Amino acid sequence: MSMELIPRIARAQSMDVLSSQATVAGYRAVVLAAERLPKMFPLLTTAAGTIPPARVFVLGAGVLGLQAIATARRLGAVVEAHDVRPGVREQVESLGARFVELPVEVADAEDAGGYARAQTDEFLARQRETMARVVVGSDVVIAAALIPGERAPVLVTADMVEAMVPGSVVVDCAAEQGGNCELTRPDEEVDHRGVTVLGPTNLPAGVARDASQTYAKNVSAFLFHVLRDGALKPDRDDEIVRETLLTLGGEVVHPRVRAALGMDPLEPPAGTRDEAVTA
Protein backbone atom coordinates (compact mmCIF):
# COMPACT_ATOMS: atom_id res chain seq x y z
CA MET A 1 0.00 0.00 0.00
CA SER A 2 1.43 3.34 -1.08
CA MET A 3 0.97 6.33 1.22
CA GLU A 4 1.67 8.90 -1.51
CA LEU A 5 -1.45 7.70 -3.35
CA ILE A 6 -3.79 8.74 -0.52
CA PRO A 7 -6.78 10.42 -2.26
CA ARG A 8 -7.42 14.11 -1.52
CA ILE A 9 -10.83 13.67 0.11
CA ALA A 10 -12.15 14.90 3.46
CA ARG A 11 -12.07 11.44 5.07
CA ALA A 12 -8.39 11.03 4.25
CA GLN A 13 -7.07 14.40 5.42
CA SER A 14 -5.48 12.93 8.54
CA MET A 15 -3.59 10.41 6.36
CA ASP A 16 -2.38 12.83 3.66
CA VAL A 17 1.39 12.43 3.80
CA LEU A 18 1.98 14.46 0.65
CA SER A 19 0.36 17.50 2.22
CA SER A 20 2.05 17.14 5.60
CA GLN A 21 5.52 16.70 4.11
CA ALA A 22 4.94 19.44 1.52
CA THR A 23 4.09 21.82 4.36
CA VAL A 24 7.44 21.11 5.98
CA ALA A 25 9.24 21.32 2.63
CA GLY A 26 7.71 24.71 1.78
CA TYR A 27 8.90 26.17 5.06
CA ARG A 28 12.36 24.66 4.70
CA ALA A 29 12.77 25.86 1.10
CA VAL A 30 12.34 29.50 2.13
CA VAL A 31 14.64 29.16 5.15
CA LEU A 32 17.27 27.60 2.87
CA ALA A 33 16.92 30.48 0.42
CA ALA A 34 17.18 33.05 3.22
CA GLU A 35 20.39 31.43 4.42
CA ARG A 36 22.00 31.67 0.97
CA LEU A 37 20.68 35.08 -0.13
CA PRO A 38 23.24 37.82 0.63
CA LYS A 39 20.54 40.24 1.75
CA MET A 40 17.76 40.33 4.32
CA PHE A 41 14.14 39.52 3.55
CA PRO A 42 12.31 42.34 5.40
CA LEU A 43 12.08 46.06 4.69
CA LEU A 44 14.24 47.82 7.27
CA THR A 45 14.74 51.49 8.03
CA THR A 46 18.18 52.04 9.53
CA ALA A 47 20.52 54.91 10.36
CA ALA A 48 22.24 54.14 7.06
CA GLY A 49 19.02 54.39 5.09
CA THR A 50 16.21 52.08 4.01
CA ILE A 51 16.92 48.47 3.08
CA PRO A 52 14.36 47.29 0.50
CA PRO A 53 12.65 43.93 1.05
CA ALA A 54 13.65 40.82 -0.87
CA ARG A 55 11.44 39.84 -3.79
CA VAL A 56 10.36 36.19 -3.81
CA PHE A 57 8.64 34.40 -6.69
CA VAL A 58 6.91 31.07 -5.98
CA LEU A 59 6.20 28.82 -8.95
CA GLY A 60 3.40 26.39 -8.11
CA ALA A 61 0.79 27.10 -5.45
CA GLY A 62 0.09 23.67 -4.10
CA VAL A 63 0.57 22.88 -0.42
CA LEU A 64 4.34 23.36 -0.68
CA GLY A 65 4.04 26.61 -2.61
CA LEU A 66 1.42 28.07 -0.28
CA GLN A 67 3.57 27.30 2.75
CA ALA A 68 6.55 28.89 1.00
CA ILE A 69 4.45 32.01 0.35
CA ALA A 70 3.34 32.19 3.99
CA THR A 71 6.89 31.71 5.30
CA ALA A 72 8.41 34.30 2.94
CA ARG A 73 5.69 36.78 3.91
CA ARG A 74 6.35 36.19 7.62
CA LEU A 75 10.01 37.00 6.96
CA GLY A 76 8.93 40.27 5.36
CA ALA A 77 9.51 39.59 1.67
CA VAL A 78 7.43 40.89 -1.21
CA VAL A 79 5.97 37.74 -2.75
CA GLU A 80 4.54 36.88 -6.16
CA ALA A 81 3.24 33.47 -7.17
CA HIS A 82 1.97 31.63 -10.20
CA ASP A 83 0.06 28.41 -10.83
CA VAL A 84 -1.63 27.01 -13.93
CA ARG A 85 -4.79 26.46 -11.85
CA PRO A 86 -6.67 29.78 -11.79
CA GLY A 87 -8.70 28.58 -8.82
CA VAL A 88 -5.76 28.96 -6.42
CA ARG A 89 -5.56 32.71 -6.98
CA GLU A 90 -7.75 33.42 -3.94
CA GLN A 91 -5.52 31.28 -1.72
CA VAL A 92 -2.38 33.03 -2.96
CA GLU A 93 -3.84 36.49 -2.39
CA SER A 94 -5.18 35.53 1.04
CA LEU A 95 -1.57 34.99 2.13
CA GLY A 96 -0.55 38.46 0.98
CA ALA A 97 1.09 37.56 -2.32
CA ARG A 98 0.36 38.85 -5.81
CA PHE A 99 -0.92 36.25 -8.27
CA VAL A 100 0.88 36.35 -11.63
CA GLU A 101 -1.61 35.71 -14.43
CA LEU A 102 -0.90 34.25 -17.85
CA PRO A 103 -2.24 36.03 -20.95
CA VAL A 104 -3.43 32.65 -22.27
CA GLU A 105 -6.47 30.50 -21.63
CA VAL A 106 -5.88 27.50 -19.38
CA ALA A 107 -7.98 24.40 -20.03
CA ASP A 108 -8.13 21.24 -17.88
CA ALA A 109 -5.42 22.55 -15.57
CA GLU A 110 -6.58 20.53 -12.57
CA ASP A 111 -7.43 16.85 -12.13
CA ALA A 112 -10.14 15.38 -9.92
CA GLY A 113 -7.75 15.23 -6.97
CA GLY A 114 -6.88 18.92 -7.15
CA TYR A 115 -3.40 18.38 -8.62
CA ALA A 116 -2.09 20.20 -11.70
CA ARG A 117 -2.33 18.48 -15.07
CA ALA A 118 0.43 18.38 -17.67
CA GLN A 119 0.09 21.12 -20.28
CA THR A 120 0.98 21.30 -23.97
CA ASP A 121 4.42 22.36 -25.22
CA GLU A 122 2.86 25.51 -26.71
CA PHE A 123 1.32 26.44 -23.38
CA LEU A 124 4.62 25.85 -21.55
CA ALA A 125 6.46 28.08 -24.03
CA ARG A 126 4.02 30.94 -23.42
CA GLN A 127 4.19 30.31 -19.71
CA ARG A 128 7.98 30.64 -19.77
CA GLU A 129 7.70 33.95 -21.64
CA THR A 130 5.52 35.36 -18.87
CA MET A 131 7.67 33.85 -16.14
CA ALA A 132 10.87 35.37 -17.57
CA ARG A 133 9.86 38.93 -16.67
CA VAL A 134 9.05 37.97 -13.09
CA VAL A 135 12.04 35.68 -12.56
CA VAL A 136 14.52 38.34 -13.70
CA GLY A 137 13.18 40.79 -11.14
CA SER A 138 13.23 38.33 -8.23
CA ASP A 139 15.89 37.78 -5.59
CA VAL A 140 14.58 34.30 -4.79
CA VAL A 141 12.67 31.79 -6.90
CA ILE A 142 11.01 28.86 -5.14
CA ALA A 143 10.10 26.36 -7.88
CA ALA A 144 7.44 23.88 -6.80
CA ALA A 145 5.48 23.03 -9.96
CA LEU A 146 4.84 19.28 -9.77
CA ILE A 147 2.65 16.88 -11.73
CA PRO A 148 1.99 13.56 -9.94
CA GLY A 149 3.67 10.65 -11.68
CA GLU A 150 5.30 12.75 -14.39
CA ARG A 151 8.49 14.70 -15.00
CA ALA A 152 8.36 18.23 -13.61
CA PRO A 153 7.90 20.90 -16.32
CA VAL A 154 10.96 23.05 -17.07
CA LEU A 155 9.79 26.60 -16.41
CA VAL A 156 13.01 28.43 -15.47
CA THR A 157 15.50 28.37 -18.34
CA ALA A 158 19.25 28.99 -18.25
CA ASP A 159 18.68 32.33 -19.96
CA MET A 160 16.34 33.42 -17.16
CA VAL A 161 18.89 32.49 -14.51
CA GLU A 162 21.63 34.37 -16.38
CA ALA A 163 19.45 37.50 -16.36
CA MET A 164 18.97 37.40 -12.57
CA VAL A 165 21.05 39.65 -10.34
CA PRO A 166 24.22 37.93 -9.04
CA GLY A 167 23.59 36.68 -5.51
CA SER A 168 20.04 35.59 -6.32
CA VAL A 169 18.89 32.11 -5.30
CA VAL A 170 16.75 29.46 -6.99
CA VAL A 171 15.48 26.62 -4.79
CA ASP A 172 14.13 23.88 -7.05
CA CYS A 173 11.75 21.79 -4.96
CA ALA A 174 10.96 19.65 -8.01
CA ALA A 175 14.55 18.40 -8.33
CA GLU A 176 13.63 14.79 -7.58
CA GLN A 177 11.26 14.77 -10.57
CA GLY A 178 13.73 16.35 -12.97
CA GLY A 179 13.48 19.95 -11.79
CA ASN A 180 11.61 23.10 -12.82
CA CYS A 181 14.91 24.83 -13.56
CA GLU A 182 17.00 23.86 -16.56
CA LEU A 183 20.22 24.12 -14.53
CA THR A 184 19.12 22.02 -11.54
CA ARG A 185 21.20 19.08 -10.45
CA PRO A 186 19.58 16.89 -7.76
CA ASP A 187 21.18 17.37 -4.33
CA GLU A 188 23.82 19.71 -5.74
CA GLU A 189 24.51 23.42 -5.56
CA VAL A 190 25.11 25.06 -8.92
CA ASP A 191 26.70 28.51 -9.22
CA HIS A 192 25.71 29.93 -12.59
CA ARG A 193 27.20 33.39 -13.18
CA GLY A 194 26.73 34.33 -9.55
CA VAL A 195 23.23 32.86 -9.16
CA THR A 196 22.89 29.89 -6.80
CA VAL A 197 20.64 27.04 -7.96
CA LEU A 198 19.81 24.50 -5.25
CA GLY A 199 18.22 21.11 -6.01
CA PRO A 200 17.35 19.49 -2.67
CA THR A 201 15.45 16.20 -2.98
CA ASN A 202 14.59 15.75 0.71
CA LEU A 203 13.65 19.12 2.18
CA PRO A 204 11.62 17.65 5.09
CA ALA A 205 14.82 16.02 6.41
CA GLY A 206 16.04 19.52 7.22
CA VAL A 207 13.26 19.75 9.83
CA ALA A 208 13.44 16.10 10.82
CA ARG A 209 11.60 16.25 14.14
CA ASP A 210 8.40 17.85 12.90
CA ALA A 211 8.52 15.96 9.59
CA SER A 212 8.76 12.65 11.46
CA GLN A 213 5.97 13.52 13.88
CA THR A 214 3.54 14.52 11.14
CA TYR A 215 4.41 11.47 9.04
CA ALA A 216 3.90 9.17 12.03
CA LYS A 217 0.45 10.66 12.63
CA ASN A 218 -0.46 10.13 8.98
CA VAL A 219 0.67 6.49 9.09
CA SER A 220 -1.12 5.72 12.35
CA ALA A 221 -4.36 7.22 11.04
CA PHE A 222 -4.03 5.11 7.89
CA LEU A 223 -3.36 1.91 9.84
CA PHE A 224 -6.37 2.48 12.10
CA HIS A 225 -8.43 2.79 8.93
CA VAL A 226 -7.25 -0.37 7.13
CA LEU A 227 -6.70 -2.80 10.02
CA ARG A 228 -9.56 -4.93 11.28
CA ASP A 229 -9.00 -7.02 14.45
CA GLY A 230 -5.24 -6.79 14.01
CA ALA A 231 -5.28 -8.04 10.42
CA LEU A 232 -5.05 -6.22 7.13
CA LYS A 233 -8.40 -6.73 5.38
CA PRO A 234 -8.42 -4.36 2.42
CA ASP A 235 -11.95 -3.32 1.54
CA ARG A 236 -11.56 -2.47 -2.14
CA ASP A 237 -14.96 -0.78 -2.18
CA ASP A 238 -13.44 1.87 0.11
CA GLU A 239 -11.93 4.73 -1.90
CA ILE A 240 -8.96 5.18 0.43
CA VAL A 241 -8.04 1.49 0.23
CA ARG A 242 -8.69 1.26 -3.50
CA GLU A 243 -6.50 4.26 -4.33
CA THR A 244 -3.55 3.20 -2.15
CA LEU A 245 -3.51 -0.54 -2.86
CA LEU A 246 -0.51 -1.26 -5.09
CA THR A 247 -0.18 -5.02 -4.91
CA LEU A 248 -2.31 -7.89 -3.62
CA GLY A 249 -1.48 -11.59 -3.62
CA GLY A 250 1.75 -10.97 -5.51
CA GLU A 251 0.09 -9.02 -8.31
CA VAL A 252 0.11 -5.30 -9.18
CA VAL A 253 -3.51 -4.15 -8.85
CA HIS A 254 -3.33 -0.34 -9.01
CA PRO A 255 -4.67 0.78 -12.43
CA ARG A 256 -2.30 3.75 -12.91
CA VAL A 257 0.74 1.73 -11.87
CA ARG A 258 -0.25 -1.12 -14.19
CA ALA A 259 -0.61 1.37 -17.04
CA ALA A 260 2.80 2.90 -16.25
CA LEU A 261 4.33 -0.59 -16.34
CA GLY A 262 2.63 -1.40 -19.65
CA MET A 263 0.36 -4.03 -18.10
CA ASP A 264 -3.20 -4.79 -19.18
CA PRO A 265 -6.08 -3.58 -16.94
CA LEU A 266 -7.44 -6.03 -14.38
CA GLU A 267 -11.01 -7.18 -14.24
CA PRO A 268 -13.01 -5.44 -11.42
CA PRO A 269 -12.70 -7.38 -8.13
CA ALA A 270 -15.64 -9.62 -7.25
CA GLY A 271 -17.40 -9.12 -3.94
CA THR A 272 -16.99 -6.32 -1.51
CA ARG A 273 -14.12 -7.56 0.64
CA ASP A 274 -10.93 -9.53 0.14
CA GLU A 275 -9.72 -12.11 2.55
CA ALA A 276 -7.28 -11.01 5.23
CA VAL A 277 -3.70 -10.84 3.98
CA THR A 278 -0.44 -10.57 5.81
CA ALA A 279 0.76 -6.97 6.10
Q: What is the dihedral of CA 174, 175, 179, 183, to 10 degrees?
A: 140
26: closest CA among 181, 258, 154, 210? 210
CA distances from 45 to 37, 52, 53, 78, 120 (A): 19, 9, 11, 16, 46
- Out of 8, 98, 117, 128, the active site residue is 8
Distance between CA 183 and CA 193 in Å, rounded?
Answer: 12
- Out of 16, 83, 139, 274, the active site residue is 16
Report CA torsion sign: 61, 63, 65, 67. Answer: positive
| Whether residue 27 lies in the annotated active site | no
| Whether residue 16 lies in the annotated active site | yes
- Out of 13, 94, 212, 213, the active site residue is 13
| Whether residue 8 lies in the annotated active site | yes
- Out of 14, 73, 115, 273, the active site residue is 115
128: three-class secondary structure by DSSP: helix
| Whether residue 115 lies in the annotated active site | yes
Distance between CA 124 and CA 135 in Å, rounded?
Answer: 15
187 neighbors 200 (Cβ within 8 angstroms): yes
Distance between CA 182 and CA 185 in Å, rounded?
Answer: 9
Distance, C-alpha 53 to centroid of its chain: 25
> Helix %, strand %, coil % for the chain, to 5?
40, 15, 45
74: closest CA among 50, 98, 42? 42
| Whether residue 83 lies in the annotated active site | no
Residues identified as active-site: 8, 13, 16, 19, 115
